[in-house]
Structure 1
Amino acid sequence: MPIALNFINRSDDANNSEIVIFQKNVATNFDELPVAWMVIKYCGKGDNHPFSFPRGMMVGASDAYGNYMPQLEISNGQLVEMRLTTSGDRLVHAGYSTSNKQAQVLNSMPKGAINAYIYKSGKLLAMKTHLAPQQKAEFEFTPTIWIGVVSQVVQGEVMNSAIISNINTELSLLGVASADIVMTGGGPGVQSTPFQFTLENVVMD
């Protein structure tokens, strides 16, 4: 069952701020910036925005020829690989990854770089680009989400490091079945306070 979350705006924000939610890939060899998994826009004071956060994930890939492979379900401890077959390039399950904490994607193509993608709820969560033949992408996520107030961030696109460095709220979803994410703070002028995000009405599994 996905985690049922409900964003509630109880802030004094007067700027029509956007809210970004994302996860960080904590695999040690990972050098790509996080992707804006969800961007909530125009959620006014007192408004709420329900959404679900799946526990599972899907993996996809694209090849050097601009082809995108159908997404496969993947979980920690599993390996998929991109292979050249008699019917073209295919993404297939290929046994176990080298770490039970990671989902891994191997480029088994004889030539050409590939890109690997992880999705939740059909939205891009993370990616690793330019994987050369025999290179492997490692995806590892802790049961937490990052959330913050941003501007000019596009859902599904990589965020720059300046934006990420300004987002310091990490919310643990470990064991959570449902919860409200409540935003407070903000406001005009010198009375403005920093935005804060807290989990309320938490129901555990």
Structure 2
Amino acid sequence: MDIQLNFINNSNDVNNSEIVIFQKNVANFDELSVAWMVIRYCGVGDNYPFTFPMSMYVCASDSWGNYSPQLAAKTGDLFSMAFTTSGDRLLPSGNGTSPKEVQVRNELSKGAINASIYKSGKLLATKTSIAPEQKAVFEFKPTIWIGVVSQIVQGEVMNSAIISDINTELSLLGIASADIVMTGGGPGPNSTPFSFNLENIVMA
């Protein structure tokens, strides 16, 4: 079931800060995360409702610049990029080796592939340069990470310095809907760090 979330800016922000929301691929801790959603110009007192879907989609591209359609994926699924009579195609290949992961295997005889996961049509995670007979693995906890950033582009990989600055992880486990309330910030020496809390939680 999709989770209905509502970001509320109750902060003292004076910098038109941008808010980034993302998930971490826990199957690869050294992998850099993608800015799944960036909330811009949400003024003090404003709110930004959005849906966090449970469903996800997988897509792959080959070294010739071709992109597969996005295929519905669930944990435990295995997909393979294979050479067929109609060119390179991403095909469902049954169950992977872990019930917690979505796996994408490169079964081409030559050329690396890139594999990506999407939620709500937006890029959630990506793994590049998967060599033949190698696979990408994606695993996500039922949590989101949220923080205040600047000059981040939605859908692009964030650098490690930005990711290490974001330390708020919110668990969505069992939640049907909730407000994400941002407080803190402000000008001058009395300003406090931004903080994010779930409020008005409705359990599924």
Q: 1:177 to 1:41 in 2, by over 3 A?
A: same
Summarize deviations over 1:80-101 as a string: whole Å, max 9, x none. Answer: 0001000011001001110001
Q: Partners of 1:136 and 1:182 in 2: how far apart?
A: 38
| Secondary structure in structure 1 of the residue aligned to 2:57 | strand
Report the equivalent of 1:54. Answer: 53
Q: 1:104 to 1:30 in 2, by over 3 A?
A: farther
Kindly indicate whether the alpha-carbon contact (under 8 Å) linking 1:30 and 1:138 is maintained by their aligned counterparts in 2: no
How far residue 2 of structure 1 moved from its aligned partner, in angstroms, is 1.1
Report the equivalent of 1:145. Answer: 144
| Secondary structure in structure 2 of the residue aligned to 1:162 | helix
How far residue 147 of structure 1 moved from its aligned partner, in angstroms, is 0.1
How far residue 30 of structure 1 moved from its aligned partner, in angstroms, is 5.3
TM-score if structure 2 supplies the norm length?
0.99
How far residue 56 of structure 1 moved from its aligned partner, in angstroms, is 1.5
How far residue 191 of structure 1 moved from its aligned partner, in angstroms, is 1.3
Kindly indicate whether the alpha-carbon contact (under 8 Å) linking 1:7 and 1:180 is maintained by their aligned counterparts in 2: yes
Residue 157 of structure 2 aligns with an amino acid whose one-letter code is: V
Q: Partners of 1:31 and 1:131 in 2: how far apart?
A: 15
Q: Partners of 1:75 and 1:97 in 2: how far apart?
A: 11
Q: Partners of 1:102 and 1:7 in 2: how far apart?
A: 29
Residue 175 of structure 1 aligns with an amino acid whose one-letter code is: G
Counterparts of 1:1-205 in structure 2 under 5 Å?
1-27=1-27, 29=28, 31-205=30-204
Summarize deviations over 1:45-71 as a string: whole Å, max 9, x none. Answer: 000000000011100010000000001
| Gap runs ≥5 in structure 1 | none
Q: Partners of 2:144 and 2:19 in 1: how far apart?
A: 12
Residue 25 of structure 2 aligns with an amino acid whose one-letter code is: N
TM-score if structure 1 supplies the norm length?
0.98
Moved over 3 A (4+): none
Q: Partners of 2:69 and 2:108 in 1: how far apart?
A: 17
**Cα RMSD, aligned residues only:** 0.7
How far residue 198 of structure 1 moved from its aligned partner, in angstroms, is 0.2
| Secondary structure in structure 2 of the residue aligned to 1:163 | helix
Summarize deviations over 1:165-190 as a string: whole Å, max 9, x none. Answer: 11000000000000000000001010
> What percent of counterpart residues are identical?
74
How far residue 31 of structure 1 moved from its aligned partner, in angstroms, is 3.4
How far residue 32 of structure 1 moved from its aligned partner, in angstroms, is 2.2
Q: Partners of 1:185 and 1:120 in 2: how far apart?
A: 29
Q: Partners of 2:161 and 2:30 in 1: how far apart?
A: 15
Q: Partners of 1:36 and 1:17 in 2: how far apart?
A: 15
